[in-house]
Structure formats: structure tokens, C-alpha cells
Amino acid sequence: MSQAHVKPKAAARILTVEIDGPLAILTMNRPEKRNAMCDALLDAIDAFFARPPEGVRVVILTGKAGHFCSGLDLSEHVTRDAEGTMRHSRNWHRVMDLVQFSGLPVVSAMYGAVIGGGLELAASTHVRIAEPSAIFQLPEGRRGIYVGGGASVRIGRILGSDRMCEMMLTGRKYGAEEGLALGLTHYVVGEGEAMSLARELAQKIAENAQLSNFMMIQAISRISDMSRSDGLFTESLAAAVSQTSADAQEGLRAFLEKRKPEFR
């Protein structure tokens, strides 16, 4: 395994990047802040997904020292006017969209705080794994503010608007098992087991054809935004592109020959 770091150097201290074959393990590294999000950490995540290392096929995202991400670092809060706040929020949206739609599948290994902006970040990833210590919360409403990193869309679609409204009004916390039932996580594992399963699933995903992974990431959530007829037409386009590829031909041959496919 090798170590790579995201530029600039200041950001490298708060986001470590470990390259292990086709996998990149990104670890948010602000343990004294429960890995709270600051502009520098957001910029480091942005920089990685904008220019991922060559050969990386799947990303694992996690946090250091018992927490995933405790949300926006309020101790570094900058007073902004309405326009500045809107632009700051829109930059969060841009980075979260980049995480979701860069084309790289992202697996989250979560424990401890998955709160506020940390939950918004997790919701932009594609496979989520939680340990028993995970706590899911949107406390913004109890702090006199409103979410700004995409929760209204991503988390609202997971929970439904009614449940998300209650969650924000009351500051309600959900544990790992509740999060599984609600869709905030896809897996719940034992203490200390999230990274093991994340690596196992990431390796499995990395063995897929890159084009089919790309199509799943790009098409499925967008189709959910479309009308029924537009969604069906888009599905046909995605099927046409993927099913006429060289990897599709290899997948069919491998199935008929009863062997594991060797995708590009």
C-alpha cells in the first residue's frame, strides 16, 4: 500500500489518502474536533474527487478516532451576509455533487458522530456502513439555523419530508439500527468492523465494469427526478451505452464460459 496526499499541504493534515490497489481510503483527520467540517477539509475532499489518482476505482470515506464527521465546525463560523451564506451553501452543494457524481463509487464507514454536515456528506455516498456507536442527527434547527449542505434534497428523499421535518424540529438522534430501518445506512456491523466490510464491498465494486458503475451512479438518482416517461427513456439510453460496450461482451462470455469476467 502507498500513501498519497491531497494538495495543498495544509489540507493534507486533515484528509489522509491511502491508495491500496484500486481502492482509495480517505480519512477525515480532525480528531480533536470529532472530524468537524471546515473549509479546508471541504477543499481537500473537493481536490481529491476533482482529480482522483489514476487507477482508483472505488473510494472508502471514513473519519479518525471514533467519529465520522460531527458537522460544520461552528467554532470556525464566519459571519456572512445573505449573499455570502448562499454562495457558501452552493459551494457545499457543488462538492457534495462531485462526491456523488464524480463516477467513483464511494463507500462510507461510519461510527460515532454522523451529524449535520457529516450526515449530508454521508448521504452523498453510495454505500453506507454503520457501527453501533453511530449517531445520526440534524441539529441545525435547534441552533437557529437551517441545513445548507444538501440535506433538504438528499436526506429528505431518504427519510421523506415529514420525518425529516420532525427530526430537525426536535433535534432527534437516531442510532445505527434506527438508521438502518430508515435508510440512513445500508449495513450495521459490530464495533470495529465497519472498515473491514467497507474494504470487502469496495473490492467487490471495483471488480465491476467501470462503465456500468458509472452508469449506475449517474443514471439512477437522476431518473428519480424525472417523469415516468423521461426516466424510462433515460434507462434505455443507459442500457444501450453499457450493453454495447466491450465489457458487456466480456461479461456475457464469462457467464457462458462459467468464469470470472476480466473487465478493463
Q: Under a CB-based contact definition with an 8 Å cutoff, are residues 106 and 129 in contact?
A: no
Maximum alpha-carbon separation in the chain: 64
Residue 262 annotated among the catalytic residues of the structure:
no
Q: Which residues contact 19 (CB under 8 A, 6 or more apart)?
A: 1, 2, 3, 4, 53, 55, 56
Alpha helices (H) in 160-227, listed in sequence order = 161-170, 176-182, 194-206, 210-223
Which residue among 140, 166, 207, 262 is the active-site one? Answer: 140
> 3-state DSSP call for residue 129?
strand
Which residue among 18, 83, 120, 178 is the active-site one? Answer: 120
Residue 257 annotated among the catalytic residues of the structure:
no
Q: Under a CB-based contact definition with an 8 Å cutoff, are residues 205 and 56 in contact?
A: no
Question: Residue 224 and residue 156: Cα distance in Å, rounded?
Answer: 13
The cell for 48 is 481529491
Q: How far is CA 110 from CA 13, 163, 208, in A?
A: 20, 22, 24
Q: Under a CB-based contact definition with an 8 Å cutoff, are residues 171 and 136 in contact?
A: no
Q: Show which residues are catalytic.
A: 120, 140
